[in-house]
Structure 1
Amino acid sequence: MIGNEYSKYILMKGHIMDFNAIINQILVLFIVLFLGFFIRKINIIDEHASKKIASLVVKVTAPCLIINSMMKKTELGNREILQMLGLSIAVYICMFIMTFIIPKLLRIEKNNIGVYRFMIMFSNVGFMGFPVIESIFGKEAVFYGAIYNLPFYALVYTLGIYLISMDNKKNIKFKIKDIFNPGVCAVIIGLIIFSFKLNLPYVATKTIDMISSLTTPLSMIVIGASLAGIKIKNIFSNTKLYIYSFLKLLVFPIIILIIIRQLGFNEIMTGVPVIITGMPVAANAVILSKEYDGNDILASEGVFISTMLSIITIPVLVFLLSN
């Protein structure tokens, strides 16, 4: 099993050496993020270019990353797939319950409750989740992440749109086709390849592998560029976002870590839900808020603060996972 191999690796290399290697990989991700911030500030890319790159990641490179991970030879069986999917559904149900509790505890204004509920429910799985999981556990772990994220892809353009739009009292109609977004389609294609053990031609596999390798750097650049457009001076006065970020980035994933470890799952099946839950606010919060008249400024502030704080909290989660 992948998890057993990972555990042996830790025992052979030692917790400190392995932890340091992971921290270095995470630092590389954030250096690329700050590069995106810088090149947006000096106008090498503008907002239009940033949106186009984001669209490229969501619709092309990230789906290729998912398919590529599922083409790899692995001992992962149907039982593990169902277990990972079950874990994901259970976590999302718990997070949905939290969307009713946390806004009341923080005394969120009625016209902002929808955005806060969205930010509680949905993490940045596409732009940061996959790159961080790959950095920690290796490319094969993206397979686990892809299965785990199936509910995210199905919910973000349905329940997510409802949460964002509830603040402006608009009646949003859902379309079935929205569920079959590039992420879900990529998982379905990957599962077909995996289940039937299909061997694609070399040209196809090499092309998919090359395109998928663009996901991590482009994702970090897009996040950095999006953060460059926020007025920082207006952010630090919102104490509720700091309390929210503390709950989102540390408290929730630590609770999940404690529960899953009691269930006896291997390292990766434990780590993937913890890391994904501990990711910053999904970038979709800003995109959907702009499209459906939600509070896009609050959404941008949530993305900014949670992303910046995750520089500290992600290494903390990695440390807890490695012990």
Structure 2
Amino acid sequence: MESFYLVLTQLEFFTIMVLLGIIGIKIRALSENSLSDLSKLIMRLILPVMIFHKSINGATRTDMIFCFKEVILSAIFMYGVLFFTGFVIKRMFSLSGNYGRVFHASTMFGNVGFIGIPLILGILPERGMLYMALFTIIDQVLLWSIGFYLTLPEEKLSYSSLTANIKNILNPAMLGIFLAILFILMEWKLPAILNKALGAVGDMTTPLSLIYIGGTFCFCNVRRFLTKIEYYAIVVIKMIAIPMLVSSILRLLHVQQEIITFITMIAGMPSMAAIAMFARTNESDEDCAVGAIMITTILCLVTLPLLAYFTSY
């Protein structure tokens, strides 16, 4: 039950930060252009710094060796289930073309960076960031291969391949992860003043990410997406049923309880904001991704506490 109340507390905090983002737009302290710049700042600097800092200060080499195999294999299993789930839901609602492809990607990938990391740090403060660093290796490889490929419009598929964007895996977040793993394995420590400075930068990740999410809500036509029943299928199947299924199977396989809690919560994340960015870049169906992000992010305030209650038992 402890994790249930921790998640409730975190989501109350999240709601306040999201509301501040909305207020920021209403009082014109933020604009659509500044939100775009804020997203780049978070993804390219603040988030990588936070991943690096939290990992090296929250885990030892023994911890990493002890959990490496279980986290990696559990992440691969989770994404295998989610890929199949996206395919099944797409077929259930007869979604085709670019809309169906982007919908598949929105079902498979969750908002780990903006919502997952702050939430995991709240419920697993000691080793949660270590699990996240290992998990993100699999997450980024699949996002920049399968995720990016699914957001390509059909007219571009003839001259693109699934592995064409592997080079994009070498991004700031992955650099932060690999540096953190190196520091943990070598048992290196940062000078105190540098460690404190990086910690201060990393601590900005959660509020800025949630303010960004709140701001983006102001530029979405909520009514336009409310009637699309396939989005609610993502909520019920991907964000509730599949995490519970994955959790039950991992229990049968005697995976560590902390890792089960971690994977269960990550599997239940709302749709990833990066899918909308990919769709925009590739000139595919961006609106499909925006609708999925909008509906799933709002309803995760209900589904994530349910998952936390489930994992408590």
Q: TM-score, normalised by structure 1?
A: 0.90
In the alignment, structure 1 residue 43 sits paired with structure 2 residue 28: yes
* 1:135-156 superposed Cα distances (whole Å, 9 cap, x missing partner): 1121531111121121111222
Range 248-257 or range 41-50, more displaced: 41-50
CA contact 2:144–2:165 (8 Å) conserved in 1: no
Query: Which of 251, 267, 271 does residue 281 from structure 1 map onto?
Result: 271
Question: What is the match of residue 4 of structure 1?
Answer: none
2-structure distance, mates of 1:187, 1:68: 10
CA positional deviation for 1:273: 0.8
2-structure distance, mates of 1:184, 1:233: 37
Range 251-260 or range 71-80, more displaced: 71-80
- Alignment-mate amino acid for residue 63 of structure 1: P
CA 1:139–1:68 in structure 2 vs 1: closer, same or farther (change >3 Å)? farther
Question: What is the match of residue 221 of structure 2?
Answer: 231
Question: What is the match of residue 213 of structure 1?
Answer: 203
- Alignment-mate amino acid for residue 195 of structure 1: L
Question: What is the match of residue 12 of structure 1?
Answer: none
Query: Which of 67, 71, 76 does residue 89 from structure 1 map onto?
Result: 76
CA contact 2:70–2:255 (8 Å) conserved in 1: no
2-structure distance, mates of 1:223, 1:264: 36
Question: What is the match of residue 136 of structure 2?
Answer: 149
In the alignment, structure 1 residue 264 sits paired with structure 2 residue 249: no
Uncovered stretches (5+) of structure 1, i.e. residues with no partner? 1-14
CA 1:41–1:238 in structure 2 vs 1: closer, same or farther (change >3 Å)? farther
2-structure distance, mates of 1:289, 1:41: 27
2-structure distance, mates of 1:128, 1:139: 18
CA 1:37–1:71 in structure 2 vs 1: closer, same or farther (change >3 Å)? same
Query: Which of 175, 181, 185 does residue 175 from structure 2 map onto?
Result: 185
1-structure distance, mates of 2:229, 2:3: 35
What is the DSSP-based 3-state SS (H/G/I as helix, E as strand, rest coil) of the residue aligned with 1:157? helix
- Alignment-mate amino acid for residue 277 of structure 1: A
CA positional deviation for 1:169: 3.7
What are the equivalent positions in structure 2 for 1:162-201 lying under 5 Å apart?
162-170=149-157, 171-172=159-160, 174-201=164-191
Query: Which of 145, 159, 178 does residue 146 from structure 2 map onto?
Result: 159
CA contact 2:87–2:104 (8 Å) conserved in 1: yes
CA positional deviation for 1:308: 0.4
What is the DSSP-based 3-state SS (H/G/I as helix, E as strand, rest coil) of the residue aligned with 2:220? coil
Identity %, equivalent residues: 23
CA 1:110–1:143 in structure 2 vs 1: closer, same or farther (change >3 Å)? same
Question: What is the match of residue 125 of structure 2?
Answer: 138
CA contact 1:120–1:248 (8 Å) conserved in 2: yes
Uncovered stretches (5+) of structure 2, i.e. residues with no partner? none
2-structure distance, mates of 1:44, 1:84: 41
Query: What is the aligned length?
Result: 308
In the alignment, structure 1 residue 19 sits paired with structure 2 residue 4: yes
CA positional deviation for 1:69: 2.1
CA contact 1:69–1:139 (8 Å) conserved in 2: no
CA positional deviation for 1:21: 4.0
2-structure distance, mates of 1:260, 1:183: 28
CA positional deviation for 1:102: 1.9
Question: What is the match of residue 64 of structure 1?
Answer: 49
